[in-house]
Amino acid sequence: MAKRSARPFSVTDLPGFATIAIMAFVALYVPILTLVAYSFNGATSVAVWGGFSLQWYVAAWDNTVVQAAAMRSLGIAACASVLATTVATMAALGTTRTAPFRGQTAIYVAINQPLMVPEIVTAVALLIFFAAIKVATGYTGLAYLVMAHTAFCIPFAYLPIRARLEGMDLSLETAAADLYASRWRTFRYVTLPLLAPGIAAGAMLAFVISLDDVVITEFVKSAGQDTLPTYMLGQMRRAITPETNAISTALLALTVLLLTAFFLLTRKRD
């Protein structure tokens, strides 16, 4: 006991710490593991195990509606993440590589608006706003979804890029200018290469955020523009089949892959 009291206070020493930790992890992972397990179910039920099978993956793969929704999801995520990352990079440069100016905090808040305004409010607002434009122009294509996704992806791309810019040694840019690089060449040959991991991380995060969006997509999409998540939501309303589990598992795998890449890119290196 004397030995124990000599140690500095640690929250892990508190009674019940292990129990709570295990409960938290159970709550986090058991549902997902169940979903993954039942995606390999040989039976039609999502509750009764009928042996290992890949039939639901095959079914999902062969389902042309799923194929179309998946391609749409990936297409929108690709466009939205590229656009959002470009805007976020410029915004990050504009908010870190300038002398402090009045209203800087206001601009920071404005850029991160999608993190604060409830998504359902934005969704309803976009529904009304885009409906008016759709009527006026007659255009009902995917551009609305791309624009909406770009908007809410910007803060997710902005934050890692800004963090990287703020951590960058400013004397490197001074050194480039000293070595005859114009402002553009300083950006091109020094700032941008050093910023690249932040930009890649921001793009990946934006891609993942776009990929799994339901609320705004559900409100903004026109007929026949289901993305993978909205398609799955529609399926769940009718009948729950392990096919949905299979699609979810595939989506999960992709997300985990991208987020792993994100963490590898943003972790501190010596």
Partner 1 sequence: MSEAATAAVAVEGRNLVKAFGQGNAAVRALDDVSVTIAKGEFFTLLGPSGCGKTTLLRLIAGFESPTSGAILLDGRDITALPPNRRPVNTVFQSYALFPHLTVAQNVAFGLQMLGKPKAEVAATVDRMLALVKLEAFAARRTSQLSGGQQQRVALARALAPAPQVLLLDEPLSALDLKLRKEMQTELKRLQTETGITFVFVTHDQEEALTMSDRVAVMSAGQILQTGSPRQIYTRPANRFVASFIGETNFLTARISGGAAHLAGGVIALPAGTADTASATLAIRPEHLRLAPPGTPGALPATVAHSVYFGTDSHLHLRLADGAELVARQQTSADGAAGPEPGTEVGVLIAEGAVQVLQE
Binding residues for partner 1, per CB under 8 A? Answer: 169, 171-172, 174-182, 185-186, 189-190, 193-194, 270
Cβ proximity to partner 1, 34 vs 182, nearer residue: 182
Q: Which ranges of 168-241 does DSSP label H, i.e. alpha helix?
A: 170-178, 183-186, 192-211, 215-220, 228-238
> Tokens standing for 157?
């791309």
Task: In angstroms, give the least distance from the CB of 169 to partner 1.
Answer: 7
What CA–CA distance (Å, rounded) separates 204 from 13?
38
Cβ proximity to partner 1, 93 vs 194, nearer residue: 194
Cβ proximity to partner 1, 49 vs 189, nearer residue: 189
Cβ proximity to partner 1, 14 vs 185, nearer residue: 185
Task: In angstroms, give the least distance from the CB of 74 to partner 1.
Answer: 31
Cβ proximity to partner 1, 89 vs 244, nearer residue: 89
> Tokens standing for 194?
């050093």
Question: Which residues are bridge partners to 52 per DSSP?
Answer: 41
Task: In angstroms, give the least distance from the CB of 204 to partner 1.
Answer: 20
Task: In angstroms, give the least distance from the CB of 184 to partner 1.
Answer: 11
* For helices 143-167 and 119-137, angle between their N-to-C axes, nearest 10 degrees: 130
Question: Which residues are bridge partners to 41 per DSSP?
Answer: 52
Task: In angstroms, give the least distance from the CB of 261 to partner 1.
Answer: 19
What lies within 8 Å, CB to CB, of 92 at 6+ separation is 158, 161, 162, 165
